[in-house]
Structure 1
Amino acid sequence: MTSHSSTSNPKPRRRPAKKNGAATVDSDPMNPRAVATSLESIEIVPRTPRTPATARRPHGHGGRTPDDVDEVELSLLGEEERRAAAADLTIEEEQEYLAQADGKRPFSARDKQAVVLLIILYLIQGFPLGLALGSVPFILREHLSYSELAVFSLSGYPYSLKLFWSPIVDSVFIRSVGRRKSWIIPMQLIIGTTMLVISYKAEELMANPGQHLYALSFAFTSLVFFSATQDIAVDGWALTLLSEDNLAYASTCQTIGLNTGYLLSYTVFLALNSEDFAKKWGIPRLSLGSYLFFCAFMSFAVTIWLFFIKEDKETSEDIGIKAVYVTMWEICKLRHVQVLLGVHLLAKIGWQASDAATQLKMVEKGLGREDLAITVLIDFPFEIIGGWLAGKWSRGDKPLRAWIYAFWPRLGLTLLATLMVYWFPKPPITTGFFVSLVLLTIAQSFASTIQFGGMSAFHTRISDPVVGGTYMTLLNTFTNLGGTWPRYFVLKGVDYFSIATCKIDGASLSVKAQECVSDHGRAACQKVGGECITEQDGYYIVSALCITFGVLSVLFFLIPTARKLQAVPTREWRIYS
């Protein structure tokens, strides 16, 4: 394989960040966070283009970059445009410049073909993500405790950590195959093969997941890892597939493709997998094995198609892998960046119990899979509206204003969701309660979208255009981690604070919570003629702890810090003078 780096030289304007996970709200109103229980913790943010530039002086190195970084700079702009961008333009000047730069963009036949290709590639990526982060946890909840689900939840981590190997994907490739196809083709073959192998064992694994928990977790973690690697390569390919005037459509392609694949694997599959849904509509039940076989076939078919698509050669300067990692370190050394990363890691704790366990609890109490699917599908168009409003409200010199204003409503909705779990009626669910559930889901997603749009706009404003790709990817990685790392501890905490008892013939035999709240634990209790009774549900305690932490952090850290950060001059966020 050859070490070679990708560059692009788009027109002199800063690209908005895309959403992991994944498509920023200010550039594309569609937001992958339309699905509440999976990509809730993963913003899908395609990486901003990186291009070489002539040397500039970084702060604090006496005019030289460490390890010859000065020889290969990462930039979005040409030389003259970089000087202008680094001159700390005012908001008004930036808006005037962007308005002048915008014009009618021709949409050629080549661009249309590129859009179709990108949507299909992102669609393939969405299949395993929808299973690993959406539908499979719901199916497993019928058999596993929350502590065991916490182990499986680790499968989502690779998508939030892809920053750490993205420079390798950008720099190493087989020249005869193509920079991007060198990674996309093998990744899709591996994804298809993995899903094909799992499909033959799926029913056996899902019938007794407690005994195969680590095998399931490893399989789906691998799928997410390979999908994340494929995403890195596809993001880079979009920079040369699309013309410079239509680069912004890369965000749209990812949102449409990834959301479609994700929703097929999550809501549509959950509905078709439900026995009640199949009986109601008189159709065969779709098993997990059959769906995995379909996804594997689609992955192989698209991969074969790629062999007939020629990848344009990129004429670009070499960017060493080490240089990219050094640049990341230089960004992390900035004081304001360190504070912002701390905000990202703490900002989402307040509603983590709701994101991780609320819908699982509702399913546990009798919410049907088909009802859940309908709820999410109804919510999707409102995500589009929320994305448009988020972009509108995040303009100007206070892009975090929308992020700040949405904090209190989101914490309040989290409390309301906890109360709805407490008041959840015995099946069948009344129409009034179901409508209330739909309205709650829409309100939560709307607040989430508004926050995401505000933070994405802030990232776009502060990112140094000289190192735009690295800067944006670093910030969005920590945004993703803020919603990912607490999930494991939340799910473990639900079981830790739960108290359950196995009642046997008038006497009581204490059983550990993690046993009596799982399917095999309840079965063990039934074998001795008993019944598991939950005396204390740890979900409410964990939710209360998260909400309390959220309120305190908002009052004393998050909002005051956010206001200070958005008041910091743009030049203070730059690592190059």
Structure 2
Amino acid sequence: MEKDVKAAKNGFSMIVSAPMIKSILSRKMLVSLIMGFSCGVPLLLTISVLQAWMKREGVDLSVIGFFSLVGLPYTLKFLWAPIFDRFTLPFLGRRRGWLIVAQLLLMLSIIMLGFTNPGKAPWMVAFAAFLVTFFSASQDIVVDAYRREDLSDEELGLGSSMYIYGYRVGMLLASGGGLILADIIPFSVVYFLMAVSMIPGVITTIVTPEPPQVTGQPVNLYSAVIEPLKEYFSRKGAIMILLFILFYKIGDTMASAMTTPFYMDIGFTMTEIGTVVKLFGFWATLAGTFGGGILMLRMGINMSLWIFGILQAISTACFALLAMAGHSVPLLSCVIAFENISSGMGTAAYAAFMASMTDRRFTATQYALLSSLMGIPRVMASAPTGFFAKNMGWEGFFIVCTIAAVPGLVLLFFMQSAINR
């Protein structure tokens, strides 16, 4: 027994050493965590929380559906990202200056959204919600640029994991916490409290140091738009990298788009779905994200993409097994745990990879472009999933989703030199 315990301790120490613990608890990782939280809070305030408010106020479902368009800034943020690379405000530096402006305007727009009236003036609600998404997307741009410039290449994996960890917690506070509070207090107060929750991010922006300056920054707006594209497409394997970003998580994305109808179709109740899938799955995702960051410190981004990508594909195949088994809460729990852990790991490696592909002179523009590209499969690949599931059956559908993960791994094989540049 003692030998087993000693062996376990030795194995753990091989994975989590003293220098690694010091790295996890460093200023850079804490900043990544808090900034992730600040970026996660606003996202669902214009989606699930706002939808619940509008539904309570009796707004027509067709109008609620159109409100999804207020999220366009998240997809189009690369259009104004060059401004953040080109211009430096006269306070706090190139990154923190823009970040504090975006955060303060975001807080004001969230409060403004809380003072609107969905029942009487839905288009005023749409305007306020658009401001929230615009300033939220702007905050995302600058935070991504700051994280890339603040962290060394070796720290990107763990830093991206800490960011995603904070992001998920922020989303949980806004959606779960916001909806629970809305049963007790008015939505206007809920939105005010969500704006107040952004204060730690503002304080962090003020006290954290500005990343080191790099030479060769854009000297005019034209170069801020054109130079990042020229620099990127001059690289060997540039097109393959873009294709890889499009395809790496496409199977996982396709499967996720239809999981709720799938659970209901094979007999799970809403309570079982809410308890196992949403709550248990949330913590499993956080565990995978954090664990992925630690493993990336050991293995590097390249090897992590291979291992986590394969695990993602296997976890998708497990849904086909669940479809064959039918209603089984224990099996559902196992599948959800495995899927969320592997997905969290894959997302952490994915984000770290994209950051590593940016040039520090044009971080805001290039990362915004790559992350916008990352969102395309979420819309395009998810659209036909209902048709596939209906005509193939659930087992066939999840097998197809598993096969869809293969092109990303094939592309990864052919762009080794690009990843290790």
CA contact (8 A) 1:458 1:566 kept: no
User: Does residue 188 of the first structure (1) align with residue 118 of the second (2)?
Assistant: no
Report the counterpart of residue 167 of structure 2 in structure 1.
258
Aligned pairs (5 A) from 1:285-296: 285-296=184-195
| Selected match of 2:314 from 397, 403, 409 | 409
Report the counterpart of residue 81 of structure 2 in structure 1.
166
Report the counterpart of residue 319 of structure 1 in structure 2.
217
Q: TM-score, normalised by structure 1?
A: 0.52
**AA partner of residue 103 (structure 2):** Q
CA contact (8 A) 2:39 2:140 kept: yes
Distance 1:565 1:247 in 2: 19
Distance 1:342 1:550 in 2: 22
- CA drift of 1:327 comes to 4.0
SS of 1:406's partner is helix
Distance 1:396 1:247 in 2: 9
CA contact (8 A) 2:285 2:341 kept: no
**AA partner of residue 570 (structure 1):** S
Report the counterpart of residue 563 of structure 1 in structure 2.
410
- CA drift of 1:183 comes to 1.8
User: Does residue 442 of the first structure (1) align with residue 337 of the second (2)?
Assistant: yes
Pair 359,333 (structure 1): closer, same or farther in 2 beyond 3 Å: farther
- CA drift of 1:294 comes to 0.7
User: Does residue 227 of the first structure (1) align with residue 136 of the second (2)?
Assistant: yes
SS of 1:173's partner is coil
| Selected match of 2:373 from 449, 473, 478 | 478
Distance 2:199 2:353 in 1: 40
CA contact (8 A) 1:160 1:484 kept: no
Pair 152,406 (structure 1): closer, same or farther in 2 beyond 3 Å: farther
Distance 1:249 1:393 in 2: 10
Pair 401,302 (structure 1): closer, same or farther in 2 beyond 3 Å: closer
- CA drift of 1:307 comes to 9.9
Distance 1:242 1:130 in 2: 28
- CA drift of 1:185 comes to 2.9
Pair 549,247 (structure 1): closer, same or farther in 2 beyond 3 Å: closer
The Cα RMSD (Å) is 5.3
SS of 1:175's partner is coil
| Selected match of 1:342 from 226, 243, 248 | 243
CA contact (8 A) 2:141 2:367 kept: no
- CA drift of 1:345 comes to 3.1
Pair 137,542 (structure 1): closer, same or farther in 2 beyond 3 Å: farther
| Selected match of 2:403 from 532, 554, 569 | 554
Report the count of equivalent residues. 395
- CA drift of 1:239 comes to 7.1
After the TM superposition, which of the residue ranges 170-179 and 561-570 deviates more from structure 2? 561-570
Alpha-carbon displacement from aligned partner over 1:39-77 (angstroms, at most 9, x marks no partner):
xxxxxxxxxxxxxxxxxxxxxxxxxxxxxxxxxxxxxxx
CA contact (8 A) 1:156 1:224 kept: yes
Distance 2:340 2:115 in 1: 36
**AA partner of residue 481 (structure 1):** I
Pair 409,119 (structure 1): closer, same or farther in 2 beyond 3 Å: closer
- CA drift of 1:169 comes to 1.1
CA contact (8 A) 1:389 1:450 kept: no
CA contact (8 A) 1:119 1:256 kept: yes
CA contact (8 A) 1:191 1:223 kept: yes
SS of 2:190's partner is helix
SS of 2:115's partner is helix
SS of 1:128's partner is helix
- CA drift of 1:544 comes to 5.8
Alpha-carbon displacement from aligned partner over 1:81-110 (angstroms, at most 9, x marks no partner):
xxxxxxxxxxxxxxxxxxxxxx89988x9x
**AA partner of residue 377 (structure 2):** G
SS of 2:73's partner is helix
Distance 1:121 1:404 in 2: 26
Distance 1:546 1:155 in 2: 36
User: Does residue 541 of the first structure (1) align with residue 402 of the second (2)?
Assistant: no
Report the counterpart of residue 48 of structure 1 in structure 2.
none
Alpha-carbon displacement from aligned partner over 1:145-197 (angstroms, at most 9, x marks no partner):
99877644444453354344333113213224543343223322221222212
Report the counterpart of residue 367 of structure 1 in structure 2.
270
Structure 1: 5+ residue runs without aligned partners?
1-28, 30-102, 276-284, 425-431, 495-537
Distance 1:438 1:448 in 2: 15
Report the counterpart of residue 56 of structure 1 in structure 2.
none
- CA drift of 1:258 comes to 2.6
Report the counterpart of residue 7 of structure 2 in structure 1.
none
Percent identity over the alignment? 18
| Selected match of 2:39 from 117, 122, 125 | 125
**AA partner of residue 288 (structure 1):** F
SS of 1:267's partner is helix
Distance 1:398 1:310 in 2: 32
Pair 272,441 (structure 1): closer, same or farther in 2 beyond 3 Å: farther
- CA drift of 1:437 comes to 4.3
Distance 1:160 1:546 in 2: 32
CA contact (8 A) 1:382 1:442 kept: no
Q: TM-score, normalised by structure 2?
A: 0.67
Distance 1:385 1:300 in 2: 24
- CA drift of 1:292 comes to 0.6
After the TM superposition, which of the residue ranges 464-473 and 323-332 deviates more from structure 2? 464-473
**Greater helix proportion:** 2
- CA drift of 1:124 comes to 2.9
After the TM superposition, which of the residue ranges 324-333 and 136-145 deviates more from structure 2? 136-145
